[in-house]
Structure 1
């Protein structure tokens, strides 16, 4: 798979109602000769760093950056180190609201940044954006980049706890995201409009980069692994097992298809996320398995292999930044069914490269799956169009190049003295 210069230029100029970053060439290739730029990548899980930002870290290192990855401890830290990357664990609990614990985390980050003296801190998710940016300000780090996939639980949940936290988090976000040395990366146009409306950041400092990038060539290579099955169409939902990923609607759709005599084999890949208030209890998942509705695969490392073994991928999510699962499936040339919500409709245009259904509508989801089951020609056309879109818009090389462009706006090593505060 190649993304030629002409095609990439067209993508880079895609209108998205945002100010264009200054044109640059030297910084997009890495630090200036004779300088070493240090960047810290901060996420709320080591799993996220390994699966979503490993290629960015490797690219930065190849271009001469000194890269440090930080996250709470976990099994993927060792995998990052095995790749030759620096990774350090943090004393961070994702769901903690204990003021003493949170103050200790912030102080730990400040001391770490004072020790490392990076030029830039890049935080992922809202909590990392807030803590990473506040610590960077206190430690005198010149540049702050934050990539946020949506407004997060505090802003989207109707629960009382979320509503009570909203004013505090709003104030912290304004402080964290503000300043001329900060940029905010969002993944879809709906979130751009939402952040603008909320007044959380200067619109001139928002950049739209669609997703974290996928190695499309790797996933395309997995499309010929399908083994002979039992004749049923294999339908996969792969995600964190959260209610707001549409698991209830998926199960409703499978029940309805079974009652209609539609031969489908429903696969569910992923694990419950106890750090998220919307986590589906494992007991509930096991009830679905016992009922014969789904085959639960648990955590899957080889997503390319799994996608190469199925016929359709669905994601009936309630809202996304930009869903990587759909992009990976698109790169495999699979037909997609997802909801007409922010993030998902960035990947799928209804009837062109997939099918869109209303949020929360299990019956509509069943109808869309049945449509693909009964019309293999349509499924093939949608899959082929999805593959072309993934290659031209969501390949990791495009995302990494645009991310480096954001770094270049902030980190001119000849113009910004190390340790200065912006």
Structure 2
């Protein structure tokens, strides 16, 4: 039996994005260890029968000594666990996990970078200053024998190739973490068109770079016109991210009558069943799961012409509506169009579901991820039908 360690920057991510991968690995006979900073989902992972370790990682820390100690802590853990493969998700977990795995002599290291995060999307001086340093660290951590890099969109693939951060042969394109499309139900195709107020949902972490300011500006403009569109936010601020929006700011929008705020939502299928259009005016993504979940429900999508987003909505007017990044006027125009033309909204939603079933179902994504594991399996490892890392 091989031991696989999955490492993410939050236990919430492991629970919501990689649980199906963990189940598949366990069903194949592998021992699975999940690690992340502490949180409320760690105990839930244990209740499901997985081993979970709390990692002493502070996501916003830039203290060199603390970060070095974290890498050494990870190396000790990987050595004690005798891990066969370590898979890190998001930049910090990928970099530190890979460095720790190198020190521990782990034979296979897989790193999934789902978007390039604050350092590469923000215009802040701090972010711009960090970019050259981050690029050098990425090259050190993510390159070398026994290492594979999974990216979620072609823009990120091109960026890594242009920057020569890793050998091109180590790069694999897998679109997202996948969605269990059977959990997300489409409304019957012959259901009558509703003339109730359009319900527009933005479901994401409450970060400025998700385009939430543009969503609010569009709400303000359309309400000023007398439109009855309901603007709904779902998600929480993320204190570990410099782009996080203050709770007081969100509550101010609610008090102004611009939006409804649902906070954290654990039952996304139920929320999407009460939604008419999904909006994500993000500045950059890996591959946004909220859009795919909405697509699986046959909801029309409005998103930006941004990396990651354009993988879900690729043809404007066919599988969704595309607006420019940071353009609240265009976003308002797209919402106005769907408010006035409910038949178009339905058509776009059905096309989005067809695409989700073809490209983004989690079974497809997991199969491809296991295929990457197989490329790193030593030649002497047991056959897939036995205990080796299998497709």
Report TM bin, short chain.
over 0.9
Are 1:354 and 2:320 matched, yes or no?
Answer: yes
The equivalent position to 2:357 in structure 1, one of 391, 395, 406, is: 391
| Deviation of the 1:100 alpha carbon | 2.2
Say which SS state the counterpart of residue 47 (structure 1) adopts. Answer: helix
Please name the residue that 2:26 is paired with: 61
Please name the residue that 1:420 is paired with: none
Contact 1:223–1:307 (8 Å) recurs in 2? no
The equivalent position to 1:154 in structure 2, one of 112, 116, 119, is: 119
Contact 1:222–1:304 (8 Å) recurs in 2? no
Q: Deviations over 1:105-136 (max 9, x none)?
A: 11110110010111111000111111101111
Please name the residue that 1:313 is paired with: 278
> d(CA) in 2 for partners of 1:399 and 1:340?
23
> d(CA) in 2 for partners of 1:344 and 1:276?
20
Change in Cα spacing, 1:116 to 1:85, as seen in structure 2 (3 Å) is: same
Say which SS state the counterpart of residue 41 (structure 1) adopts. Answer: strand
Say which SS state the counterpart of residue 262 (structure 2) adopts. Answer: strand
Moved more, 208-217 or 257-266: 257-266
Say which SS state the counterpart of residue 298 (structure 1) adopts. Answer: coil
Please name the residue that 2:3 is paired with: 38
**Moved >3 Å (runs of 4+):** 221-224
> d(CA) in 2 for partners of 1:201 and 1:153?
21
Please name the residue that 1:23 is paired with: none
Say which SS state the counterpart of residue 314 (structure 1) adopts. Answer: strand
The equivalent position to 2:105 in structure 1, one of 140, 144, 147, is: 140
Q: Deviations over 1:170-204 (max 9, x none)?
A: 22211111112111000001111111111111111
Are 1:264 and 2:251 matched, yes or no?
Answer: no
> d(CA) in 2 for partners of 1:191 and 1:357?
20
The equivalent position to 2:146 in structure 1, one of 181, 184, 188, is: 181
Please name the residue that 2:342 is paired with: 376
Moved more, 165-174 or 286-295: 165-174
> d(CA) in 2 for partners of 1:77 and 1:68?
12
Change in Cα spacing, 1:40 to 1:195, as seen in structure 2 (3 Å) is: same
Q: Which has the higher contact order (CA 8 A, sep 6+)?
A: 1
Q: Deviations over 1:33-61 (max 9, x none)?
A: xxx11111000000000000000001100
> d(CA) in 2 for partners of 1:261 and 1:116?
61
Say which SS state the counterpart of residue 337 (structure 1) adopts. Answer: strand
> d(CA) in 2 for partners of 1:415 and 1:87?
26
Change in Cα spacing, 1:233 to 1:156, as seen in structure 2 (3 Å) is: closer
Moved more, 63-72 or 152-161: 152-161
Moved more, 196-205 or 401-410: 196-205
Please name the residue that 2:366 is paired with: 400
Contact 1:223–1:308 (8 Å) recurs in 2? no
Q: Kindly report which structure 2 residues correspond to 1:243-282, keeping only aligned pairs within 5 A, or say none.
A: 243-282=208-247
Please name the residue that 1:70 is paired with: 35
Q: Deviations over 1:196-250 (max 9, x none)?
A: 11111111110000000000000127889x9xx9921111111000111011100
Aligned residues: 379
The equivalent position to 2:93 in structure 1, one of 102, 117, 128, is: 128
The equivalent position to 1:190 in structure 2, one of 155, 167, 179, is: 155
Specify every segment of 5 or more residues in structure 1 that has no aligned partner in the other structure, as ranges.
1-35, 417-422
Are 1:97 and 2:59 matched, yes or no?
Answer: no
> d(CA) in 2 for partners of 1:222 and 1:56?
28
> d(CA) in 2 for partners of 1:77 and 1:275?
17
> d(CA) in 2 for partners of 1:86 and 1:203?
34
| Deviation of the 1:292 alpha carbon | 0.3
User: Alpha carbon RMSD of aligned pairs, Å?
Assistant: 1.8
> d(CA) in 2 for partners of 1:283 and 1:254?
18
Say which SS state the counterpart of residue 136 (structure 1) adopts. Answer: helix
| Deviation of the 1:164 alpha carbon | 2.9
> d(CA) in 1 for partners of 2:365 and 2:246?
35
Change in Cα spacing, 1:95 to 1:222, as seen in structure 2 (3 Å) is: farther
Change in Cα spacing, 1:223 to 1:377, as seen in structure 2 (3 Å) is: closer
Q: Kindly report which structure 2 residues correspond to 1:335-350, keeping only aligned pairs within 5 A, or say none.
A: 335-348=300-313, 349-350=315-316
Q: Structure 2 length as normaliser, TM-score?
A: 0.94
Say which SS state the counterpart of residue 391 (structure 1) adopts. Answer: helix
Say which SS state the counterpart of residue 220 (structure 1) adopts. Answer: coil
Contact 1:184–1:205 (8 Å) recurs in 2? yes
